[in-house]
């Protein structure tokens, strides 16, 4: 197991955060070649540069490697937030980065990208994400159609909460 840092901003602060979690874990500077290290478990990055870590994770997934966890380190603050990229909630974050979506739409995208999951589990993580200040309701819309329960459906569109630090 290895930790990585995305070297934008004061790298010593990222290294210090990584060492605080496990002093004996080796630390890599993550770039376009080291991001493919199969032992890379978690990457520390300042929140404002998270898109770089997401890009490295995309490259790993395309190469058939498991995504690493991304540890957001707020710039100038002491708290860190860990959301594993391969967790259900972490994957919902990835889907909502594309824009607001309603629950069933999130379910369909999740199932297509990551495999089988129950709708109940998607709605559980949406609910938990709201309680954890990751997601919020963007809009509520009435849709007309030929649904099994009638001609109308109410759709709650969820989005990433701006205070969650994701864009």
Span 108-146, pLDDT tens digits: 999 998 888 999 999 999 999 898 888 999 999 999 988
What's the confidence (pLDDT) of residue 41?
85
CATH architecture entry for 2-83? 3-Layer(aba) Sandwich (3.40)
Q: DSSP characters for 102-139?
A: EHHHHHHHHHHHH----HHHHHHHHHHHHHTTSEEEEE
What's the confidence (pLDDT) of residue 102?
96
- Residues of the chain below pLDDT 70: 76-86, 163-167
Q: Which residue has the tokens 């001609």?
A: 151
Query: CATH number of the domain at 88-164, please?
Result: 1.10.10.10
Please give the backbone phi and psi of residue 42, each rounded to the nearest 5 degrees, phi first: -145, 145
């Amino acid at each position: 197991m290895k930790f990585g840092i995305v070297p934008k901003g004061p790298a010593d602060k990222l290294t210090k955060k990584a060492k605080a979690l496990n002093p004996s874990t080796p630390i890599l500077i993550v770039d376009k070649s080291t991001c493919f290290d199969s032992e890379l478990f978690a990457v520390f990055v300042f929140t404002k540069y998270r898109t770089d870590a997401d890009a490295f994770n995309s490259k790993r997934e395309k190469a058939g490697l498991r995504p690493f966890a991304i540890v957001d380190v707020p710039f100038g603050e002491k708290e860190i937030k860990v959301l594993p990229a391969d967790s259900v909630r972490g994957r919902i974050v990835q889907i909502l980065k594309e824009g607001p979506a309603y629950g069933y739409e999130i379910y369909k995208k999740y199932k297509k990208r990551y495999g089988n999951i129950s709708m109940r589990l998607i709605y559980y993580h949406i609910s938990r994400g709201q309680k954890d200040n990751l997601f919020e309701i963007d809009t509520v819309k009435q849709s007309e159609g030929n649904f099994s329960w009638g001609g109308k459906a109410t759709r709650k569109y969820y989005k990433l909460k701006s205070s969650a630090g994701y864009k």
